[in-house]
Chains A and B, each alone.
Chain A
């Protein structure tokens, strides 16, 4: 075997990755430029708000409820080691609002929405529907990508707010029924402790994650290879890329917002 082969492979992979980043960036810029130029497809935007936002509520709510509950149990157990059981309400609230609300909602929406966008647009690509759009004087980025990007970016903060509230409620449920907290005191501790930026930062994260989800779904879908296999690969790629990018972006945003 040629000793330089692993190096060459690494080089090729790096170049491919850089090229992909460049292409995605160009795609995002083109979508943004279409966002501000008419025509605007309001009907499609409305449909996507329903798809991304409204229909994601159950899964995001369930995830948040169980996460908040488990968080309360862990903080109680961990806090007990140095007699700090009483901090459960505060830590649940801050953990949900700053980190787990946006991240859990983002990952669930990545699974639910990035996959469905990629599969839908990928199928449109391989059945020539995207070509057909072009011949009907309709720009595919404007008609397909812009409504999805806008809907996901605007709907995600709302989903995060819902996740925060339900997650805190999950903590409260476990705290009052299993850990012996007084209901009124638990809620008072939560509201006294939380600051506006704890919640606001999570909502900003949500908007960024929503944009990532729709961008990955659209990009992988519209660049799908031919055939059912191509659509399958596009769908998988969209979910994996969206999930990893969400976690990476989350770290960067946390550094940006909270590191001293």
Chain B
């Protein structure tokens, strides 16, 4: 279980998070939605310790995420898909996917690591021929899927997906949505997904949280989303230009 309490983060004068509270139960899938630049990526980076909050508490199964007893052991439980892919461009695709399996505490023989990498690539719809290419030789959508394969390579308990389907065609987006759902229901993983795509929200989410104005504006089960009365949420899910969320034109 991940609990986030009263988390604040500012970059200079830019107050991004202003008291975020959120709880994510083990084995569930939570989708975080919210306008561009509201701090969704910053929020999950806080959980991983990549960004240090100015204030607040984050715990994972009771352990303080900001000061874990062993950072190595703590991070070994997580997988993360970065918004921009963040693939290592000095390594071929398969070594990117198997990065964790080639060194450190999860190290295993090279052959085995490669076999796992090929399996994960297949699950995100990439052919074995891609394995020996370098990230710079791939299209944007392919890079995103390699990033996804890397995030799930070591079968982590907790996975964060930062916009897994942006830049993918609708069919591939459907495949990825199904994959994320499967990882949660069949493997029992806990997932937090950030997305702007409402069809992804409906396919992936158990619960939905909307970040706006530095706080969680609305949180609830996906089934309650359409009936919710929050005008901000309604404007967002229907993509209306008119409403309480200001759009600069």
List A contacts of B72 (CB < 8 A). Answer: 137
Interface residues in A134-164 by Cβ distance below 8 A to B read 134-138
List A contacts of B99 (CB < 8 A). Answer: 136, 138
Instruction: Indicate if B50 sits at the interface (CB-CB under 8 A).
Output: yes
Residue contact B104 to A132, C-beta cutoff 8 Å: no
Q: Per-residue CB proximity of A113-147 to B under 8 Å, as 1/0?
A: 00000000000100111011111111000000000
Instruction: Indicate if B196 sits at the interface (CB-CB under 8 A).
Output: no
Instruction: Indicate if A41 sits at the interface (CB-CB under 8 A).
Output: yes
> How many residues on chain B are close to A (CB under 8 Å)?
24
B58 to chain A, nearest CB (A): 15
Instruction: Indicate if B100 sits at the interface (CB-CB under 8 A).
Output: yes
Please choose the segment from B81-89, B184-192, B239-247 that sits at the chain A interface, where 4 or more of its residues have CB less than 8 A away.
Answer: B81-89
Instruction: Indicate if B103 sits at the interface (CB-CB under 8 A).
Output: yes
Please report the C-alpha to C-alpha distance between residue A209 and residue B89 in the assembled complex, in whole angstroms: 29
Instruction: Indicate if B48 sits at the interface (CB-CB under 8 A).
Output: yes
A114 to chain B, nearest CB (A): 18
Please report the C-alpha to C-alpha distance between residue A137 and residue B73 in the assembled complex, in whole angstroms: 8
Q: A41-B103, A135-B75, A137-B105 are in contact. Are A127 and B84 (CB under 8 A)?
A: yes
Residue contact B82 to A138, C-beta cutoff 8 Å: no
Chain A: interface size category: 10 to 19
In the complex formed, the residue of A with least CB distance to B75 is A137
B113 to chain A, nearest CB (A): 13
List B contacts of A132 (CB < 8 A). Answer: 80, 82, 86-88
Residue contact A129 to B86, C-beta cutoff 8 Å: yes
Instruction: Indicate if A39 sits at the interface (CB-CB under 8 A).
Output: yes
Q: Per-residue CB proximity of B134-153 to A under 8 Å, as 1/0?
A: 00000000000000001000
Please report the C-alpha to C-alpha distance between residue A138 and residue B48 in the assembled complex, in whole angstroms: 13
List B contacts of A135 (CB < 8 A). Answer: 48, 50, 75, 78-80
List B contacts of A131 (CB < 8 A). Answer: 45, 50, 82, 86
B41 to chain A, nearest CB (A): 9
Q: Per-residue CB proximity of B83-124 to A under 8 Å, as 1/0?
A: 110111100000000011001111000000000000000000
List A contacts of B82 (CB < 8 A). Answer: 128, 131-132
Centre residue among A127, A129, A132 by max chain B CB count within 10 A:
A132
List A contacts of B106 (CB < 8 A). Answer: 137
Residue contact B105 to A128, C-beta cutoff 8 Å: no
Instruction: Indicate if B76 sits at the interface (CB-CB under 8 A).
Output: yes
A68 to chain B, nearest CB (A): 37
List B contacts of A136 (CB < 8 A). Answer: 75, 99-100, 150
In the complex formed, the residue of B with least CB distance to A131 is B50
Please report the C-alpha to C-alpha distance between residue A132 and residue B97 in the assembled complex, in whole angstroms: 12
List B contacts of A127 (CB < 8 A). Answer: 84, 86
Residue contact B100 to A137, C-beta cutoff 8 Å: yes
List A contacts of B86 (CB < 8 A). Answer: 127-129, 131-132
List A contacts of B150 (CB < 8 A). Answer: 136
Please report the C-alpha to C-alpha distance between residue A67 and residue B171 in the assembled complex, in whole angstroms: 64
In the complex formed, the residue of A with least CB distance to B104 is A137
Residue contact A129 to B87, C-beta cutoff 8 Å: yes
List A contacts of B49 (CB < 8 A). Answer: 134
Q: A129-B88, A131-B82, A132-B80 are in contact. Are A138 and B50 (CB under 8 A)?
A: no
In the complex formed, the residue of B with least CB distance to A124 is B88
A135 to chain B, nearest CB (A): 4
In the complex formed, the residue of A with least CB distance to B73 is A137
In the complex formed, the residue of B with least CB distance to A120 is B90
B156 to chain A, nearest CB (A): 10
Tell which of B76, B84, B89 touches A137, judged by Cβ atoms closer than 8 Å. Answer: B76
In the complex formed, the residue of A with least CB distance to B82 is A128
A222 to chain B, nearest CB (A): 14
Tell which of B48, B76, B80, B104 touches A39, judged by Cβ atoms closer than 8 Å. Answer: B104
Nearest 4 pairs of A and B residues by beta carbon? A132-B86, A128-B86, A135-B80, A137-B75
Q: List 22 A-B contacts (CB under 8 A).
A: A39-B104, A41-B103, A127-B84, A128-B83, A128-B86, A129-B86, A129-B87, A131-B45, A131-B86, A132-B80, A132-B86, A133-B88, A134-B48, A134-B75, A135-B48, A135-B78, A136-B99, A136-B100, A137-B75, A137-B76, A137-B104, A138-B99
Q: Other CB < 8 Å A-B pairs besides A133-B88, A135-B50, A138-B103, 16 of them?
A: A39-B104, A124-B88, A127-B84, A128-B82, A128-B84, A129-B86, A129-B87, A129-B88, A129-B89, A131-B45, A132-B86, A134-B48, A135-B48, A137-B72, A137-B75, A137-B100
Question: Which residues of A come within 8 Å of B, CB atoms?
Answer: 39, 41, 124, 127-129, 131-138
